[in-house]
Amino acid sequence: MPEERTSLAETIRATIEQEILSGKLASGAQLDEQQLLSRFSVSRTPVREALIRLASAGLVDLVPRRGAIVSAITLREYVAMSEILVQLEALAAQLAARRITESEREALREAYAACQQAAAQASADRYREANDGFHAVIYEACRNEILSAQIRTMRARMRGMRDYRFEKPARIRASLEEHGAVMEAILRGDEEAAARAMVEHISTGGNVYADMIASMPDEAVGAKAPR
């Protein structure tokens, strides 16, 4: 049935997208069609439809004779996406300040507490996970599924780059302080302050790196990002 096939394709697409977003599937990873058929217990049609949708979103490349491969991006593309992501994240924070529910307020406080615990441990991996959780609450609270999907898709495409943001304890401490400013602005319903705090948070983590790469000659940044 067409509706059932569409549902299967969407389930497969969403599952693979989440695995790319989480880093389980790194850039350059090959998606073997036979393995996908076995894993999801489906025919070729929904698998191929799912891969086409992922390709349309820029998450995979469909390469002749090689099949589907998780997309890699150039360093300059990474910088360009970072500059767009700042504005999308700021809008999400602004809308969250306007629309957040009581249960989401508590969830945001809990996500911030998780960031505090990870920061106290000075663990880059733990803080990276807690950071993702903090932002996820804001995406939910903004009540704009299209915006949230755009942010998640862009972040998924950027996952191929090694994330060095939290390798230094000083950056973790700074990020935690920035999270506090974002949270307080959202909780008091100050839309403009929430957007400003989010711009500062996202920009601070990437400006130096972005400016360095953006100023490089084309031949230095044209290669695909490290896998």
Q: Is the C-alpha dihedral spanning 197, 199, 200, 205 positive or negative? A: positive
Question: 141, 134, 135: which is closest to 102 by C-alpha?
Answer: 141
- Residue 9 Cα distances to 15, 32, 38, angstroms: 10, 16, 14
User: What structural domains and CATH numbers belong to the chain?
Assistant: 7-68 (1.10.10.10), 73-215 (1.20.120.530)
pLDDT, tens digit (0-9, with 9 covering 90-100), for 175-201 = 999 999 999 999 999 999 999 999 999
Q: What is the pLDDT of residue 227?
A: 36
Q: Point out which residues pair with 63 in neighbouring strands.
A: 67
pLDDT, tens digit (0-9, with 9 covering 90-100), for 67-95 = 899 988 787 888 888 889 999 999 999 99
Percentage above 90 pLDDT, the chain: 59
Phi, psi (deg, nearest 5) at residue 174? -65, -40
* CB contact set of 37 (below 8 Å; sequence gap of 6+): 43, 44, 47
pTM for the full predicted model: 0.74
20, two tokens: 């790319």
Phi, psi (deg, nearest 5) at residue 217? -65, 155
154, two tokens: 């862009």
Question: What DSSP line would sit under 86-152, residue for residue?
Answer: HHHHHHHHHHHHHH--HHHHHHHHHHHHHHHHHHHHT-HHHHHHHHHHHHHHHHHHTT-HHHHHHHH
Q: What is the pLDDT of the chain when averaged over all its residues?
A: 86
Q: Which residue has the higher pLDDT, 156 or 215?
A: 156
Q: Is the pLDDT of residue 226 over 50?
A: no
pLDDT, tens digit (0-9, with 9 covering 90-100), for 27-53 = 889 999 999 999 999 999 999 999 999
Q: What is the pLDDT of residue 190?
A: 98
pLDDT, tens digit (0-9, with 9 covering 90-100), for 141-170 = 999 999 999 998 888 778 755 566 787 888
Cα–Cα distance, 91 to 95 (Å, whole number) = 6
Q: Is the pLDDT of residue 58 over 90?
A: no
